[in-house]
Amino acid sequence: MEARLILLLSGFIGFLYYRYHNGLKLSRELEKVNEIKSKFFGNVSHEFRTPLTLIKGPLENWLDSDLPPELRKDAKMMLRNSERLLFLVDQLLSLSKVDSGNFQVKHIKANLSLALKGISNFFIHFAHDKSINYTINIDDSGQSLVDLHIIEIIVTNILSNALK
């Protein structure tokens, strides 16, 4: 009877060890996959950033010149969208930094209400196109210590989801 109990306990301990060892192995493999994914998003984001910047530069130059009203309107829309794409690429780069543990909060003294108004203005045309009554009413906040990049990410996501 004792021999069977010892054999059973030994088998059970062996099974637990096997599961623990496989869990560690799986955990290491998942960390490697996560690292590869993070590097991929970082690399792809950098690759998107360059052509977007090259598109944005000429658009800004066109807007500084004397364009007909129809072209000016289109160029402004193209510039807004290229800025939005650059913002999204920056979000991917930030996500990559968070995954790699290199993300740092960079707070500065800034007027939060002005930043919020600027971010909110990006959505005026989107709301208008969807026939949504969209008004911006933000009281002056004065100077605060904030990370404007993080604020922009949060507010943009909230407004984008709300208007969808």
pLDDT by position in tens, the chain (length 164)? 688 888 888 888 988 888 988 888 888 998 888 778 777 877 888 788 888 888 888 889 888 988 898 888 889 889 988 988 888 888 787 777 776 677 777 889 998 888 899 888 888 888 888 888 988 889 888 888 988 888 888 888 888 888 88
pLDDT of residue 30: 87
What is the Cα–Cα distance from 66 to 68, expressed in whole angstroms?
7
Task: Report the pLDDT value the prediction gives residue 163, as an integer from 0 to 100.
Answer: 84
Contacts of 45 by beta carbon, 8 Å cutoff, 6+ apart = 89, 90, 92, 93, 96
Res 156: pLDDT: 85
Residue type, 92: L
List C-alpha distances in Å: 28 to 31, 65, 142: 5, 56, 48
What is the pTM assigned to this prediction?
A: 0.53
How many Cβ atoms from other residues are within 10 Å of residue 33's Cβ? 10
Look-up of token digits 């911006």: 136
Sign of torsion, CA 46 40 157 99?
A: negative
Whole-angstrom Cα distance, residue 55 to residue 79?
8
Can you give the pLDDT at residue 150? 84
